[in-house]
Amino acid sequence: MSPQFVDFDADGRLDIVAGIFDGSPHLVRGSAAGWQPPEQILDRDGARIVFNQFWNFDTKKWDSTHRCDGPGQTGEGHLTSAIAMDWDGDGDLDLLLGDHSSGRVYRRTNEGTPQQPAFSTRNEPVLAAGKPIDVPGTVATLRLVDWNGDGLLDLAAGSMGDAYSNGEGGGVYVYLNTGTKQAPVFAAPITLVERSRKGGTEPLRPDSGLYMDFGDHDGDGDLDLVVGGYSHWTPKPIELTAAQTQRVAALRAELAVAEKGSAAIMEAIDDATKGLAEAAADKKREELSAARLDELVAFGKKRQALQNELDPLVPGPKRASFVWLYENLGSAAKPAAVR
């Protein structure tokens, strides 16, 4: 979820627009009294705006639909980012929506008014260099920025990359608008931050899940980047004494036993639910998990304690989130401006 502060309903107060992991764009209205409760941004027919995957609040399960598919939609789309933008220069705000699953960006046109938006019902792909945008590493967030100072809004995207293991990480890109205010035409992306290859021995950069914004952070007149994301690193191994080497072997053996123990419980639960209908299997799994919860918790605590002792001796992979500043060193001074 990356918030955008924008006057969504043209009442003179800033609101907050954000796509969230439930698969739809949301709105927090600003008021004289403060921020109001969040609400979903719906289409002109009052239906949820989604790609394909979405959290179904009625069934309380993940669900999928092709109801809103536009041309070329992948079928696995998952909307998690949204920004409001006057796409066609008609004075009202349209929506640009990012796909966490595929890297595509889609548009919903506002067919209503600035005060009473009425969004179109299908996802229209946004193009760059004549092809549907495909953000390398899939979309984490979208932002608007006049990157080249030509008075036109450009589209920026931060990408997700592999946020959980050693695969290639995310980057930051800007798609320059080579068209007009009424008809944007986006060029091929310029890479602002390369995708991470990871592999550091300390946190050196945001490696995955890059959520960025632009601003003149240091007041020197150019655009800096602030980027949230996960760093992935593995500390350098230490030289072990003979006693430490022996202890490491013992800890690893104990860890294997603990892991085998919890895996056996989960396997037994799975076996007991085989052949049951989905609802019955869910119920059975819930009952059995509850019955063996104490054992599972005990194995979990044991594993954590062993890992805590092992980690300083044989450092394992680390992953932690931070917010980073990329200071722009390269451009001539020009005051920040606002449209």
Partner 1 sequence: MKPMKTACFPLFVLATATATAQSPTFAAPVRLMAGDKFLGENRLFPSPVYHDLDGDGLFDVVVGDLPGRLTVARRLPGDGPPKFAAETKVLAANGAQVDLKNW
Q: Which of residues 159-218 bind partner 1 (CB under 8 A)?
A: 163, 176, 190, 192-193, 203-206, 209, 211-218
63 binds partner 1 (CB under 8 A): no
Question: In angstroms, rounded to a whole number, what is the distance separating the alpha carbons of residues 54 and 26?
Answer: 13
CB of 339 to partner 1, least distance (A): 5
Site string for partner 1, 100-129 (x = CB under 8 A): ------------------------------
Pick between residue 128 and residue 153 the one whose CB is nearest to partner 1: 153
Cβ proximity of 159 and 190 under 8 Å = no
57 binds partner 1 (CB under 8 A): yes
CB of 136 to partner 1, least distance (A): 16
The answer for residues whose C-beta is within 8 angstroms of residue 158's C-beta and 6 or more apart is 139, 140, 141, 143, 170, 171, 172, 173, 210, 211, 212, 227, 229
Pick between residue 40 and residue 244 the one whose CB is nearest to partner 1: 40
Pick between residue 46 and residue 330 the one whose CB is nearest to partner 1: 330
Cβ proximity of 65 and 53 under 8 Å = no
Residue at 1: amino acid letter: M
The answer for residues whose C-beta is within 8 angstroms of residue 95's C-beta and 6 or more apart is 25, 41, 49, 82, 83, 84, 85, 107, 108, 110, 119
The answer for residues whose C-beta is within 8 angstroms of residue 278's C-beta and 6 or more apart is none
Pick between residue 114 and residue 315 the one whose CB is nearest to partner 1: 114
CB of 104 to partner 1, least distance (A): 19
312 binds partner 1 (CB under 8 A): no
CB of 142 to partner 1, least distance (A): 11
Q: Using the rule CB under 8 A, give the single segment among 22-30, 237-245, 274-282, 297-305 that binds partner 1.
A: 22-30
CB of 312 to partner 1, least distance (A): 20
259 binds partner 1 (CB under 8 A): no
324 binds partner 1 (CB under 8 A): yes
Q: Using the rule CB under 8 A, give the single segment among 30-38, 118-126, 246-254, 256-264 that binds partner 1.
A: 30-38
Q: Residue 296: name the closest of 259, 252, 256, 254 by CA.
A: 259
DSSP 218: T
Pick between residue 35 and residue 76 the one whose CB is nearest to partner 1: 35
Pick between residue 157 and residue 269 the one whose CB is nearest to partner 1: 157
Site string for partner 1, 221-250 (x = CB under 8 A): xxxxxxxxxx--------------------
Pick between residue 114 and residue 261 the one whose CB is nearest to partner 1: 114
Count residues near partner 1 (CB under 8 A): 88
User: How far out from the chain centre does Cα 291 lie?
Assistant: 36
Cα separations in angstroms, 334 against 150, 160, 178: 13, 31, 21
Sole residue written with tokens 């001796």: 313
328 binds partner 1 (CB under 8 A): yes
The answer for residues whose C-beta is within 8 angstroms of residue 230's C-beta and 6 or more apart is 163, 206, 207, 208, 209, 319, 320, 321
Cβ proximity of 227 and 161 under 8 Å = no
Q: Using the rule CB under 8 A, give the single segment among 19-27, 124-132, 268-276, 308-316 that binds partner 1.
A: 19-27
140 binds partner 1 (CB under 8 A): yes
